[in-house]
Amino acid sequence: MIDMEKLKFDEKGLIPAIVVDGKSGQVLTLAYMNRESLEISIKEERTCFWSRSRQELWRKGETSGAVQHIIDITADCDYDALVVRVNKDGPACHTGAESCFHNPLWESEENHAFTMDGLMEMLEGRKTNPKEGSYTSYLFEKGLDKILKKVGEESTEVIIAGKAEDKAETIYEIGDLAYHVMVLMLELGITLEDVRNELASRHVIDKKVKQEKMT
């Protein structure tokens, strides 16, 4: 851990803090902290900023309830900017959007970023607005039994490839299985956030178990 004295606040006594969703990695907002708000944030384990417009401290979620619970805080190489990872109770933006960064400026036609959330959104589009010739739309049209059958088949393919210790084939089959599981999730109304929360709860339990074994 670094000494807070190494941090470089600007001439107004502020340091930029980039707030990131600890589960999805999405950038939520850019705010500013002074020494006092940073100390409060660390003490209370929730984000507290300095409002440049109101010239006062403000705790995120104080009125909206959208509290940001701090996971960790990291300084950059020059010690003049912070990244704050959080678990959030609600939208980060005052507009109600999950992130303050939601106004597209430019997008490359050649370079694309893949995310599970983006794939899930695309699959959901095939469910709500079926597309002719789409395999995904076909699965939703056939319904739960067909989707479950495919999940079972792909699970078997993963087992066969894994047993053969064929890494490339196993990766390929896991991709097929993940896709069909996501289709199943949408059919049952399960979100990626639901799964993240489930895995996060298991992580906490696992840490507690390890601590108990060490004591």
- Are residue 199 and residue 122 in the same domain, yes or no? yes
Q: SS3 sequence, 84-103?
A: EEEEECCCCCCCCCCCCCCC
- Are residue 70 and residue 121 in the same domain, yes or no? no
Distances (CA, A) of 66 to 32, 74, 84, 146, 171: 18, 22, 16, 40, 39
How confident is residue 103, by pLDDT bands cut at 50, 70 and 90?
very high
The yes-or-no verdict on residue 204 having pLDDT over 70 is no
CB 127 within 8 A of CB 141: no
- Are residue 79 and residue 25 in the same domain, yes or no? yes
The CATH number covering residue 151 comes to 1.10.287.1080
Q: What is the mean pLDDT of residues 81-105?
A: 95
Average pLDDT, the chain: 93
How confident is residue 198, by pLDDT bands cut at 50, 70 and 90?
very high
Q: What's the whole-model pTM score? A: 0.74
- Are residue 133 and residue 199 in the same domain, yes or no? yes
Note whether residue 182 is domain-resident. yes
How confident is residue 30, by pLDDT bands cut at 50, 70 and 90?
very high
Note whether residue 106 is domain-resident. no
The yes-or-no verdict on residue 213 having pLDDT over 70 is no
- Are residue 120 and residue 204 in the same domain, yes or no? yes
Structural domains counted in the chain? 2
Note whether residue 202 is domain-resident. yes
pLDDT tens sequence across 48-82: 999 999 999 999 999 999 999 999 999 999 999 99
- Are residue 152 and residue 63 in the same domain, yes or no? no
- Are residue 122 and residue 209 in the same domain, yes or no? yes
**Residue 127 is part of which domain span?**
116-214
Q: Which two tokens stand for residue 166?
A: 């064929």
Note whether residue 149 is domain-resident. yes
What's the pLDDT score for residue 175? 98
Q: Which long-range contacts does 50-53 make (Cβ < 8 Å, 24+ apart)?
A: 50/14, 52/14
Distance CA 208, CA 33 (A): 32
- Are residue 126 and residue 202 in the same domain, yes or no? yes
The CATH number covering residue 33 comes to 3.10.20.810
Q: How far apart are the first and last CA of the chain?
A: 24
